[in-house]
Amino acid sequence: MYDLNAHRRATAAETTSRSPARRRDHRSGPTRHGVARHLTARMMIALVLSVSLVPAAAAAQAADRGTVARHAFEAEAPIPSPDAFAALIGAAREQAATAVGDPDSYVIEARFDPGRGTVNGDMRITFVNRTDEALADVVLSLLPNSNDYAGVAIAVDTLRVGGHRIDQPNRGLSEDETSLLVPVSRPLPPGGSIEIAVGFTTTLAPDDDAGNYLELDEPPGTWFLEWWYPILAPYEPSRGWLLAPPVIQTGRAPWGVALYDVTLTMPNDLHAVTTGDLIEERLVGADARRRYVAGPTEAFHAIADEDFTSVSAEVGDSIVRVHADSSEAETARRALTFAEQALAAYSDRFGAYPFRELDIVQTPLKMGMGYSSEGLIVVGSPLSEGYDEDEWDYEPPPFETDPDEVDLVTHEALLAHEVAHQWWGNSVRSDYVAHAFMVEGLTEYVAFTQLEASLGEKVARRVMVDDAVQPYIELLDYEGDEIADRTGRRDLWYATHYGIVYGKGALGFLAINVEIGDAAFDAALRAYAADHAFGVTTPEDLREAFESASGEDLDELWRTWFETAETTPDDVRDLLRAAA
Ligand SMILES: [Zn+2]
């Protein structure tokens, strides 16, 4: 889940003026301001649209370089797989095995060369046809080739399907090079599986202006290896393989979950943080060769940095770590305490966190304030996000005391949100294009309840007003109301994304909580999390969970907040009064 919230963080300011010098300033000198930013929806649209520019030459360049890459799996026998569910704890192992059945799996052997800005990899995907029909081809997504990843590219160098070498593997590339159609020699029947071996070269962004997560930064930088390898495209029974380029700001239909066995080699002086668990580590000259297992997860991401330090704590059977530049040790410790509390509280309320590890990377982000994937969260740094209030129509919040303190509370709100995504959005997934409200609105509201528990009602309420009420009321002013559940309407996204999906969405879940009370609200979410762990849900699943836990018919409430566009500022006021 990408939380690209232009409302409350400096993201927007960085997106518009991201000179390297400015970014360095952010790193070395904490800045003062971090309080609520009042951006209009229109400004947000402009900012979001300003980040997609791609040099088409990058892909071609990568393809050229790829020809010299060595690809191990063409010749070598497969390495033995370790315990496939090793990243999970206790009951989650059985839960996952039942939920995902016989999942797809990835075995990846890759080398990251920060000097050249490349990742050379070999992978074997075992794809299982879980659809009802025989498939004549399988589609791999090459996400970094999309416009969302300026300057980054993946080239497929070699391709084998079911042991047969495919000459000219790039013949199946879509025009925009984000999808590769992989032909299967005989249609793959339902339940059948096939092995696809791919040699690939990923070229990371060559400069600091790439404007995306997956970046090659100037030293001492942070490298994001995100969606850095060819990955099975999402498949929807009604639409087949989804070929359209992904829109990272708004997500898309859920990817399938898979098991991962990844061996990643990189210079030993880089501190690596990844999805899943480290199970082996070996020094090879100046390099470290590290092997990880992960899953079930939508993807395997890695982040590398020269000077990260880590702090960690145990929560139940899991370990939570915060990784940050050594200059941020103090805020990292505070973030750890807060994340620890959130993870423990959510585990109590919604069922135990399923993974052995939760890694949180705190780093200055170019775009976006937070990102949550299974077991791996990235959040922007508190205090280092410079913001010049003169740039925008800015109103300081009335409760402001110490701006740094406000920044830290904002950061804690972000942590509460991203940690909650481990349940809503990561374990229980939904079609994010059509139903983002049930992921982001729910996550946002649950985060407010956690803030209330840890920082008190006054702070939680203030954050809710800043982050949900205010953006929604502003949107009502500027654009009018919109329907939160976008079922059947995949267009008109940016205009409504923040104010509607997060703002109105969160208020809708507050309305449900007020109606059914805390005990039924939590019981519903606990049952929903258990019933749909590692699965994909629809809005009906969520509504039914609330209805069966409370015994109430929530039809009208649900329609008011999520399915109609007739809510007024008075309705919001009434709700806040009822919640007080
Ligand atoms: Zn979110």
**Topology alike, domains 5-22+40-306 and 309-579:** no
**Could you tell me which residue, 369 or 56, shows the higher pLDDT?**
369
CA 149 to chain centroid: 15
- Rounded to an integer, the average pLDDT of 120-129 is 96
So where are the chain's domains? 5-22+40-306, 309-579
- How many whole angstroms from 379 Cα to the centroid of ligand 1? 11
Tell me if the domain spanning 5-22+40-306 has CATH number 1.10.275.10: no
Q: Tell me how far the alpha carbon of residue 1 lies from the centroid of ligand 1, in angstroms.
A: 6
Residue 98 three-state SS: helix
Task: Give me the pLDDT at residue 5, please.
Answer: 45
The CATH number of domain 309-579 is 1.10.8.870: no
pLDDT band at 396 (very low <50, low <70, confident <90, very high): very low
Residue 472 has pLDDT above 60, yes or no: yes
Distance 420 CA to ligand 1 centre (A): 8
From ligand 1's centre to the CA of 148, what distance in Å?
19
Are the CB atoms for 274 and 312 separated by under 8 Å?
no
Question: Residue 40: is its pLDDT beyond 50?
Answer: no
The CA 277 to ligand 1 mean position distance, Å, reads 24
Question: Of the ranges 164-178, 236-250, 334-348, which one carries the lowest mean pLDDT score?
Answer: 236-250
- pLDDT level of residue 434 (50, 70, 90 thresholds): confident
User: For residue 515, what are its two tokens?
Assistant: 């109606």
Residue 95 has pLDDT above 90, yes or no: no
pLDDT at position 519 over 90: yes
User: Ligand 1 centroid to 476 CA: how many Å?
Assistant: 21
**443 alpha carbon to ligand 1 midpoint, in Å?**
6
Three-state DSSP class for residue 410: helix
Q: How would you label 82-98 residue by residue, b for 16+ Cβ within 10 Å and e otherwise? A: eebbbbbbeebbebbbe
How far apart, in whole angstroms, are the C-alpha atoms of residue 475 and residue 42? 9
Neighbours of 191 (CB within 10 A): 11
Q: What's the whole-model pTM score?
A: 0.84
Tell me, what's the pLDDT at 66? 38
- Residue 201 Cα to ligand 1 middle (Å): 31
* Centre of ligand 1 from the C-alpha of residue 135, in Å: 34
Q: Is the pLDDT of residue 77 over 60?
A: no
